[in-house]
Amino acid sequence: MRKFITAVVGATFILAGSANAQSPSQSTPPAASPQRERATIKTVSVVDIDELPAAAQAQVNQALTNRSADEIQKLRAAIENAPELKSALAAKGFTSRDVVVAQLDEDGELTIVAKRAG
């Protein structure tokens, strides 16, 4: 789970990069590490934070306290600009506004954790 939490910011840049890849007018590459930049999203899993074990929920909530509103907004905007990710969220009854963290692993599996609004 620690890997999951630490990859949140990296996933933000990867998602931003994949959204920008759809826009041919983008001339500057996204600010991501070379290793992360090469990652390709192969599968997407959307998880409701309430379905996670209590310890994992606590780690996600702790990570949220360490994230700026701007970082979270960038993640949500990147997801909003990626139709396949919006569709995956919608299939589970979520929108990009519900996303709290995301992680892309080495195998290309993107896990998005969402929390239902109040």
Quote the DSSP letter at residue 82: -
- Strands laid side by side in the 109-114 sheet: 43-48, 109-114, 99-104
pLDDT at 10: 45
User: Over the stretch 65-118, which tens digit does the pLDDT of each residue have?
Assistant: 888 999 999 999 999 999 999 999 999 999 999 999 998 999 999 999 999 876
Q: From the CB of residue 85, how many other CB atoms can be counted at a distance below 10 Å? A: 23
12 in Cβ contact with 78 (< 8 Å): yes
What is the rounded CA–CA span in Å between residue 78 and residue 80?
Answer: 5
